[in-house]
Amino acid sequence: MKFFLDTANLRDIEEAASWGVLAGVTTNPSLYAREGGRLADFHAHIQRICEICDGPVSAETVGLVRDEIVREGVELAALAPNVVVKVPVMPEGLAATRTLAEKGIDVNMTLCFTVPQALLAARAGARYVSPFVGRFDDISEDGLEHLGNMVVALNNYDFGHPVEVITASVRHNQHVVAAALMGADIATVPFGVLEKLVKHPLTDRGLEAFLADWEKVKNA
């Protein structure tokens, strides 16, 4: 499994990149707004993320009709070679994804909640499909069950191009564990979740014991 960071916070991206585990970044309008971002600075912000992370960086379009989505997607893709254009799953988004894919631009189809949506996204040419797990949990449905169904369905077919599943809307460690066991290719997580993934109380306890014993060695 590859780990992406789901954020627009530059400091968090820099820290995750320093660990040597960051394979990509996903952003969206809400995450950028959370950082106090301004429209005039958006392109420069995406370019800075692409400088920090050399993996795929998803930047989302906001147009609602295919021509607008394509125009925005072409502009975003021109910002850096590792930009992936993020497009919502909807009829106009599917049409735009086909056009962008024909132009050689990688697309991440987002807000995916059903098997048919995932299959249609892949068939339209999406390089990545992003099922949202946590948002199902918010309405008392099993988001992991939906994710597993999408992973199985996508693996049943050859779409003529690589398609990777990005587990999105990740809220806690168990989302990541279950997604990995299902064979999801990627988990995109908030920095707080990434921090928790590396921690365990037994690890902390073992480290404390090792250091205490080493002090005995030094003082012997």
Nearest to 25 by CA among 186, 202, 164: 186
Query: Which pLDDT belongs to residue 137?
Result: 86
**For residue 144, which amino acid is it?**
L
CA distance readout (Å), 134 to 19, 42, 93, 140, 162: 26, 27, 23, 10, 25
Look at residue 220 and tell me whether its pLDDT is greater than 90: no
Residues marked active site are found at 86
Query: Which pLDDT band, with edges at 50, 70 and 90, does 153 fall under?
Result: very high
Query: Which pLDDT belongs to residue 107?
Result: 98
Tokens of 99: 């056009």
pLDDT digits (tens, 9 = 90+) for 79-138: 999 999 999 999 999 999 999 999 999 999 999 999 999 999 999 999 999 999 989 888
Long-range CB pairs of 30-35 (<8 Å, 24+ gap) are 31/6, 31/7, 32/8, 34/8, 35/8, 35/9
Q: Which of 18-27, 131-140, 150-159 has the lowest mean pLDDT?
A: 131-140
Q: What is the mean pLDDT of residues 4-23?
A: 98
Query: Which pLDDT belongs to residue 105?
Result: 98
Angle 108-110-114 from CA coordinates, rounded to 5°:
120
Q: What is the mean pLDDT of residues 76-80?
A: 98
pTM of the model as a whole: 0.94
Mean per-residue pLDDT over the chain, rounded: 97
Domains of the chain, earliest start first: 2-219 (3.20.20.70)
pLDDT digits (tens, 9 = 90+) for 169-197: 999 999 999 999 999 999 999 999 999 99
Question: Can you state the angle between helices 143-155 and 173-182, rounded to 10 degrees?
Answer: 30
φ and ψ at 48, to 5 degrees?
-65, -40
